[in-house]
Amino acid sequence: MTDRRSDLDFKAVRGALETERSELRAASQALVADRKPVILDQQSVGRLSRMDALQVQAMSKAQESRRQARMLAIDAALKRLEDGAYGYCAECGDDIPAKRLDVDPVTPRCIECMS
């Protein structure tokens, strides 16, 4: 087991993760209106408009769910950075290659354990 963590710039990783988390929070706040309940007033809105509004709401809720999952993964990666466990596989304890962490800095496992 060689230590490939020396290839990692932990300060840059932390900055990138915190930036991504901030962007996700901003996107979540910007799209709150799209997730609000759709008013089904047949007098003011036609059937197709209601269907469009329901579809936009469903898509926005799905996007929000993905954003929340990503933010949880970012928080977990930041916690691993604090604990000194970042860059090590959560299952086998081996080093996670720096190239893999460059592709997805929140990944908690090496390629073998992900399979």
Write out the chain's pLDDT in tens, 115 residues. Answer: 445 556 678 899 999 999 999 999 998 888 776 666 666 665 555 666 777 878 888 888 899 999 999 999 999 999 999 999 999 999 999 999 989 999 999 999 999 998 8
Distance CA 55, CA 106 (A): 31
Cα–Cα distance for residue pair 56/14, rounded to 1 Å: 34
Instruction: Quote the CA–CA distance of 102 and 104 in Å, as a whole number.
Output: 6
Q: Which helix (H) or strand (E) holds 101?
A: helix 98-103
Q: What is the DSSP letter of 48?
A: H
∠ CA 71-27-79, nearest 5°, is 20
